Chains A and B, each alone.
Chain A
Amino acid sequence: MLVTARLRPPDRTVEVADVRRVADLLGRLDVLPGAVLVIRDGTLLTSQDELRDGDQVEVRFAISGGA
């Protein structure tokens, strides 16, 4: 199975094979679950949600810098 993940910001897209749940995907991407939101079809996924072959998800970083 293959999942396409668009990460932003900054914008880049990666393909990740053999990840069953969102938590597995974030682990493979080496991303802290508390720093991102995972979006599929306009709604949010939790770390326990299952991924399907061909899924296109966005991993959006929720941290922003400031003064």
Chain B
Amino acid sequence: MRCKRCRGAVVIEVRRHNAAFCRDCFFHYVGQQVTRAIAKHRMLEPADRVLVAVSGGKDSLALWDLLLELGYQADGLYLSLGIGAYSERSKRVCEEFAAARGATLVARDLAGEHGYTIPEAAGKGGRSSCGVCGLSKRYVFNRAALDGGYDVVATGHNLDDEAAVLFANTLRWDTAAMARQFPVLEATRPGLVKKVKPLYRLAERETAAYCILKGIDYVVEECPLVGGNTQMRHKETLNRMEEESPGTKHSFLFGYLERAAELLRVADVAELAECSRCGMTTQAPDDPAEAPVCAFCRSKARLVKSLPVVEVTAG
């Protein structure tokens, strides 16, 4: 087996493209996939200020590295979730990544700013730890981008993430969620920042390989709260199908994006409004007399009420 581009010694196979690459040609392939994603969906303009949501994991650090290499003005955003030693190590990895490249890392803290950590929130208010974590991150990323005057928020969602989410939404025929699943979400209202997923053409095995071959130290350990969650189970199912038939995940996701996403988007008639508590954009309530409250504010109110009150004495 030889490298598809240069006939050199191979370090990785990419079976869905019937290809194998040496180290340098693999970097070329990864850069090309990201450049294609950005160009096809007009994700970024050269002068954009980009805020990359980084967790310390392989995908977000690979993304940050790639955007810096491609010459974008990309700062990182790390949100402390309060998951003990795991969060501390994740933050340290992001700080070291930024320091080594002279890049800017913006740090936010969920407990300091909103009064709860993810372990405290897990299972309360009807949301799983992953559910409340996702909700909190989406909210804080948007808010941090607005506060910092960024044009775009970039996240490290890869082909496997997107295929697994589409799979879950399809199993439930959650057409409203499907309609919002796209590699780019434009800022359709004031208060919303454009969101992009430049890694959606790359499998997560490829983003991990990119980090290993580039010497990027990422957090290999899995989040201690994630164990056996639904997305992991869906990924395992899709990976078994992929093993038998390479390209299954790619066709599933890309077929959707090219032929079905637009149909669902047209049918998605969700009306948006301003949250009466925080001013961010949310879905308008069915009853026009009801004050709009976003999912984050509703969830936070339930959580903070359920947490023990700690008295702080001044002085």
Contacts and interface: CB of A to CB of B under 8 A. Distances in A.
Contact of B220 (A33, A34, A60): A60
Interface string A38-59: 0100111111100000000000
Contact of B221 (A9, A43, A47, A66): A9
Q: Please report whether the interface of chain B is mostly helix, strand, loop or mixed according to DSSP.
A: helix
A34 B23 contact: no
B208 A32 contact: no
Contacts of B240: 32
A66 B134 contact: yes
Contacts of B236: 35, 63
A65 B13 contact: no
B220 A37 contact: no
B243 A63 contact: no
Interface size class of B (residues with CB under 8 A): 35 or more
Given A33-B243, A65-B130, A67-B137, A48 B1 contact: yes
Contacts of A48: 1
Interface string B20-35: 1001000000000000
B75 interface: no
Contacts of A44: 11-12, 209, 212-213
Contact of A67 (B10, B130, B239, B242): B130
A43 B10 CA distance: 11
B213 A43 contact: yes
Contact of B130 (A37, A39, A66): A66
Contact of A46 (B12, B235, B239): B12
Contacts of A47: 13
Interface stretch (B92-100, B226-234, B272-280): B226-234
Given A46-B1, A65-B130, A37 B23 contact: no
Contact of B243 (A9, A32, A60, A66): A32
Nearest to B223: A65
A8 interface: yes
B208 to A, nearest CB: 4
B205 interface: yes
A65 B205 contact: no
Nearest to B133: A67
B271 interface: no
A9 B219 CA distance: 10
8 closest Cβ pairs, A-B complex:
A67-B134, A65-B226, A62-B208, A65-B232, A62-B205, A44-B11, A67-B130, A9-B222
